Amino acid sequence: MPDAPVLLSLRGLRKTFDTQEAVSGIDLDVYAGEFLTLLGPSGCGKTTTLRIIAGLEMPTAGSVHLDGQDITRLAPEKRAVNTVFQNYALFPHMNVYKNIAYGLTMRNTPRKEIADKVAEMLDLVQLTGYEKRMPSQLSGGQRQRVAIARSLVLSPKLLLLDEPLGALDLQLRRSMQQELKRMQQKLGITFIYITHDQEEALTMSDRIALMRLGRFVQLDSPKGLYERPQTAFAASFIGETNLIRARAEAVKEDEVLLDVSGFNLPCLDSDWITPGEELLLSLRAERLHLSNSPVNAECWVSGELVESHYAGGERSSTIRLPDGQLLRARATTEGETEPQLGSTVFCHWNKEAGVLVRDDREEG
Amino acid sequence: MSAPARTLRTREPLAFPMMLYAVLFVGLGLMYIIGLSLMTRGADFTAGAPYTLHNYERILSPLYLRSLLQSLRLAFYTALFCMLLGYPFAYFMAKASPRARTWIMMLLIVPFWTNALIRIYGWKILFSTSGPINAALLAIGIIQRPLKLLYTDFSVQVGMIYAMIPFMVLPVYSAVERMDWSTVEAARDLGANPMKAFLTITLPMTLPGILAGLVLTFIPSIGLFFLSDLLGGSNTMLWGNMVHNELLKSRDLPFAAALSVVLLALTGIVILIYRRMGGRAESMVF
């Protein structure tokens, strides 16, 4: 993506409501054709950021540039940006056709051209034949598709989507995710997508901006965010992870030697760590391997098996380390031997699977 | 969305007391008035056979038709000006901060607790030849002699708008208050400037409130009599005044009843038109 031209730039964006700061300094470059997701818990400022880009909210400070043009103070109707609202915000007094045609009508598009474009959009969202239906006669998924068609018909440079699938049930959500991704790739429109669903973010995005307390915690590819989280918050917000207390014993050129519950473990990542520092070691549950006997591995610990749950394809196990910390592991049940609670088990992982982070969980 | 629930509710046994109430106090009363309108007057306040339509024939005279037209015109302008003045008022009230809203609502409601006659006397003072309006106009020098404001169609019209405006403001207010403003944001987002967004989204979405307000201001305006009695001149004879005169001055019960039936029919027609335009009884509840 970064070789594509920058479409949208946010610089030093801030927004304060009364005394509360919703957005506390955001810098972002969005590349043309990109699918960028703003991910974060509710109240992290993602919707406010989106509304500032749409022009529905004026920032307290900072700037918004679209295609190199400063649009910070531009009215929403003058921006080549369209929004799919969280509750769809369809016009209840207009039928599907008029809803989709609305933006074109505002642009004084000739009637014939409107008819053609609306038909094209209805085809894209698979709602041909629904022109005369009123929004109240549609299902949630159909309303969703009308909302998307209504925005896409204007061929915006940038489409903003505020939790567009939030109100749909899980199955519909999954199929709409694929449909949205397909449309985005087909039309080549840049998407900025809001969600608080980390799985949705991981499967759909080119890049994810993880937000918290009005700031970006990490801006990265889904893989980068999952594999190399930079903070404890990022590690625990995405996927299931163990955050184990560790002390840096020695810092070498490209690895750190850790003391974890009495075990000496090497870990990659080093330049920012000072010897003696207390850190957290993030270990993804599914990257841990268990065995009943010692394994010849660089990174391993052992402890008492205190919990074990069979869950079909996977087994979830909990190991208590000598210092009392618990480690959760998820492993395939294929060819396993029935584990014995209370027995000593050995747990090992690839050096790359361990990520050191600073503890930022209590911040704010 | 709540429509099916509502129709269901009227069929529930709990609706029975309301039905009984309606039959006893509205239905029977109406039947009495209609029956009375077909009778012939006797001595003061009495009526009896023969049963004819001659009371209705009398209404077809120019005197009554002129009064009917005058009443309809007055009611029309009342509803119209209540809408033009009341809509912006209700709109900004609904958009005001909760604190400000409470105050505005108080200003609207408190006069209701004062006797209507007393409030109309207030207008008499305002409109009188030596009243504050004339005094102010004279002081600025716009006029040289006091204007005759009181006892004109103008004073009746102003008084009527004043008396009726809450019935426009309240249903419009509740319609604006229920608005989903994200639809207006969506309209702006899709390229509508604030004016176009208002005309294509806010106005149609609050139309049920406007329609309810039009009906609620139009219908009572045809029948109000004390307002035109106090503020109107001798040639302001509205339909309400006609009924009032026949009943209490001519003491002609059957003819007063016939005039009332015409008023009722007019009301029925207005409500029919309202239903035709998609108006619902719920919109009149605020």
* HEC sequence for B149-203: CCCCHHHHHHHHHHHHHHHHHHHHHHHHHCCCCHHHHHHHHCCCCHHHHHHHHHH
Residue B1, pLDDT score: 37
**pLDDT surpasses 70 at A141:** yes
> Helix B116-127 vs helix B132-140: angle between axes, to the nearest 10 degrees?
30
CB contact under 8 A, B191 and A75: no
Residue that has been written with the tokens 């309303």 in this structure: A143
Contact at CB, B192 and A77, closer than 8 angstroms: yes
Q: How confident is the model at residue A54 (pLDDT cuts 50, 70, 90)?
A: very high
Q: What is the pLDDT of residue B50?
A: 81
3-state secondary structure chain A: CCCCCEEEEEEEEEEEECCEEEEEEEEEEEECCCEEEEECCCCCCHHHHHHHHHCCCCCCEEEEEECCEECCCCCHHHCCEEEECCCCCCCCCCCHHHHHHHHHHHCCCCHHHHHHHHHHHHHHCCCCCCCCCCHHHCCHHHHHHHHHHHHHCCCCCEEEEECCCCCCCHHHHHHHHHHHHHHHHHHCCEEEEEECCHHHHHHHCCEEEEEECCEEEEEECHHHHHHCCCEHHHHHHCCCEEEEEEEEEEECCCEEEEEECCEEEEEECCCCCCCCCEEEEEEEHHHCEEECCCCCCCEEEEEEEEEEEEECCEEEEEEECCCCCEEEEEEECCCCCCCCCCCEEEEEECHHHEEEEECCCCCC
Q: With CB atoms and an 8 Å threshold, state whether A93 touches B1.
A: no
Does B111 or B204 have the greater pLDDT score? B204
**In the Cβ-directed half-sphere of A354, how many Cα atoms lie within 13 Å?**
29
Give the residue from chain A lying closest to B203, CA to CA. Answer: A93
Mean pLDDT within A75-90? 94
Query: A171 to chain B, minimum CA–CA distance in Å?
Result: 25
Q: Are strands A35-39 and A61-66 parallel, antiparallel or unpaired?
A: unpaired
> Cβ contacts (< 8 Å) between A83 and chain B: which residues?
185-186, 189
Q: Which amino acid is at B242?
A: M
- Cβ pair B189:A87 closer than 8 A: no
What is the average pLDDT score of chain A? 92
Global pTM exceeds 0.90: no
- The string of pLDDT tens digits covering residues A297-335 is 889 999 999 999 998 889 999 999 999 999 999 988 888
Mutate to test the interface with A, among B180, B182, B189 (most CBs of A within 10 A): B189
Contact call for A76 and B201, based on CB within 8 A = no
Q: Is A103 part of the contact surface with chain B (CB cutoff 8 Å)?
A: yes
Over the Cα atoms of chain A, what is R_g?
Answer: 25
Is the Cβ–Cβ distance between A64 and A254 less than 8 Å?
A: no
Give the least confident one: A43-52, A252-261, B197-206: A252-261
Count CB pairs under 8 A between chains A and B: 66
pLDDT at B286: 65
B182–A89 C-beta distance less than 8 A: yes
Nearest chain A Cα to B205, which residue? A93
Report the pLDDT value the prediction gives residue B76, as an integer from 0 to 100: 96
Query: Which residues of chain A have a CB within 8 Å of the CB of B180?
Result: 87, 89, 92
The answer to whether residue B52 neighbours chain A at the CB level (below 8 Å) is no
Percent of chain A whose pLDDT exceeds 90: 70
Cβ of residue A85 closer than 8 Å to a chain B Cβ: yes
- CB pair distance less than 8 Å for A91 and B192: no
**A76 at the B interface (CB within 8 A)?**
yes
Of A146-160, A314-328, B27-41, B104-118, the range with the lowest mean pLDDT is: B104-118
Taking CA atoms, what residue in B is nearest to A155? B190
Answer for the pair A159, A152: CB distance below 8 angstroms, yes or no.
yes
CA distance B279 to B233: 36
Interface touch A75/B187, C-beta < 8 Å: no
Q: Among residues B245, B272, B281, B241, which one has the least CA distance to residue B156?
A: B241
Within an 8 Å CB–CB cutoff, is residue B187 touching chain A?
Answer: yes
B1 to A136: CB separation less than 8 angstroms, yes or no: yes
Cβ A77–B193 below 8 Å, yes or no?
yes
